[in-house]
Copies of this chain bind each other. A is one copy, B any other.
Amino acid sequence: MDKMDIKKLAKDLNLSTSTVSRAFRGNSDINLQTKERILAKAKELNYQPNLYASNLREKKSKTIAVIVPELANNFFSQAINGIERVAREKGYHTLIYVTDDDYQREVSFIDDLYNGRVDGVIMSASGEANDHNYLNKLRKKHMPLVFFDRVYDDIEVPKVTTNDYESSFLATKHLIEAGCKKIAFLVINKSLSIGKMRTQGYVDALEDAGIPYKQSWIIDCKNDHQENYQVLSRLMNTLQPDGLFASVERLAISSYYVCHDLGIAIPEQVKILSFSSLEIASLLNPALTTITQPAYDLGANAAQLLFKTLEGGTAQKEQLVLKSSLIPRKSTAG
């Protein structure tokens, strides 16, 4: 009574399973009337073709995987939103995997996808300077992979990033023009693709302005707020920068807390600027100058690239670079 399958439905209709099957496939030849009769009966009996049987036959899952370092984060949630929308429009389903910035987890997620569960993968990388060879297995399985934002340079697949170097350069220049002489650069992982680009933009902009650059002004931070709070407090008390350039949103947040608590006035005593996808940057106290990445578009484009290779068959290695925008606000006001 409960379990419906194509055979029972066919018997109910005095038809063969092939005919019933045809009613559910878009293309095949079938009499319109029988088709409608079948669909009606199917609805009545609450029948739907079994997904796993279909996929087994057709060897595709109409599903993609998205692997991200974190989820509860403006940037990634917007990006995923973009991915999900494109996937949905293409009739694909979207699986989410969060690594919590744990490289091992990334590896094991990927491992879990070899079995045909998905047709393709979109990923923002977690594993810094590790071995990325496990990703080549994906290619052997003809499973397309697309990177967005955080990429591995040594893996040749389509990538969607933003103009990090240029943005970072301009941002640093912006601080200099606002009068900063002692600009600290806050970074989480300067060996990662993105950290590297952003750090370089900062360094070059300093040089370009004839400001002596010192290694000690590049501050290594973590993902943990408490730790960063300590590091930044020390920074403010010792080096006493008059400018903070946060390469990641959460570092700007920590900086704000530190400055509030230490009674350091923004922007009078220290100007702050950050890469950030915070939609309410202008409501902060004071409004935060940001380099805003087009997070949604980044995701949407990554998805489009994936479907392009999925449909085209050829493994493209397109590199798409979207532009971020520098939005000056009170936190860097002269």
The answer to whether A52 touches B46, judged by C-beta atoms less than 8 angstroms apart, is: no
Identity of the chain B residue whose Cβ is nearest the Cβ of A78 in the assembled complex:
B72
The answer to whether A95 touches B98, judged by C-beta atoms less than 8 angstroms apart, is: no
Instruction: Decide if A222 is an interface residue (CB 8 Å cutoff).
Output: no
A96: contacting residue among B53, B78, B84, CB under 8 A: B84
The answer to whether A115 touches B50, judged by C-beta atoms less than 8 angstroms apart, is: yes
Instruction: Decide if A25 is an interface residue (CB 8 Å cutoff).
Output: no
With known contacts A71-B77, A296-B72, A51–B98 Cβ distance under 8 A: no
The answer to whether A51 touches B115, judged by C-beta atoms less than 8 angstroms apart, is: yes
Instruction: Decide if A141 is an interface residue (CB 8 Å cutoff).
Output: yes
Instruction: Decide if A90 is an interface residue (CB 8 Å cutoff).
Output: no
Q: Which B residues lie within 8 Å of A283 (CB)? A: 253, 256-257, 260, 284-285
The answer to whether A115 touches B71, judged by C-beta atoms less than 8 angstroms apart, is: no
A280 to B97, CA, bound (A): 25
A67 to B115, CA, bound (A): 25
Q: Which B residues lie within 8 Å of A95 (CB)? A: 63, 93-96
Identity of the chain B residue whose Cβ is nearest the Cβ of A286 in the assembled complex:
B285
- What is the interface size of chain A, counting residues whose CB is below 8 A from a CB of the partner? 53
A78 to B95, CA, bound (A): 17
With known contacts A85-B98, A95-B93, A115–B49 Cβ distance under 8 A: yes
A49 to B114, CA, bound (A): 9
A93: contacting residue among B71, B117, B137, CB under 8 A: B117
With known contacts A72-B81, A77-B71, A98-B84, A52–B285 Cβ distance under 8 A: no
Copies in the complex: 2
The answer to whether B96 touches A96, judged by C-beta atoms less than 8 angstroms apart, is: yes
Instruction: Decide if A2 is an interface residue (CB 8 Å cutoff).
Output: yes
Within 8 A of B (CB), among A92-110: 93-98
Q: Which B residues lie within 8 Å of A296 (CB)? A: 72
Q: Which B residues lie within 8 Å of A286 (CB)? A: 285
A278 to B283, CA, bound (A): 12
The answer to whether A46 touches B140, judged by C-beta atoms less than 8 angstroms apart, is: yes
Shortest Cβ distance from A216 into chain B, in angstroms?
A: 28
29 example contacts (A-B, Cβ-Cβ < 8 A) are as follows: A2-B140, A46-B137, A48-B114, A51-B117, A52-B116, A71-B77, A71-B80, A71-B84, A72-B78, A73-B77, A76-B77, A81-B98, A84-B96, A84-B98, A88-B97, A88-B98, A93-B97, A93-B112, A94-B95, A94-B96, A95-B96, A253-B279, A253-B280, A256-B280, A256-B283, A257-B283, A283-B284, A284-B284, A284-B285
Q: Which residues of A contact B (CB under 8 A)?
A: 2, 46, 48-53, 55-56, 61, 63, 70-74, 76-78, 80-81, 84-85, 88, 93-98, 112, 114-117, 137, 140-142, 253, 256-257, 260, 278-280, 283-287, 296
Q: Give the 6 A-B CB pairs with smallest separation, nearest first.
A: A285-B285, A77-B77, A51-B115, A52-B55, A52-B56, A48-B115
Additional pairs, 4, CB under 8 Å, beyond known A52-B55, A256-B283: A2-B142, A48-B115, A256-B280, A285-B285
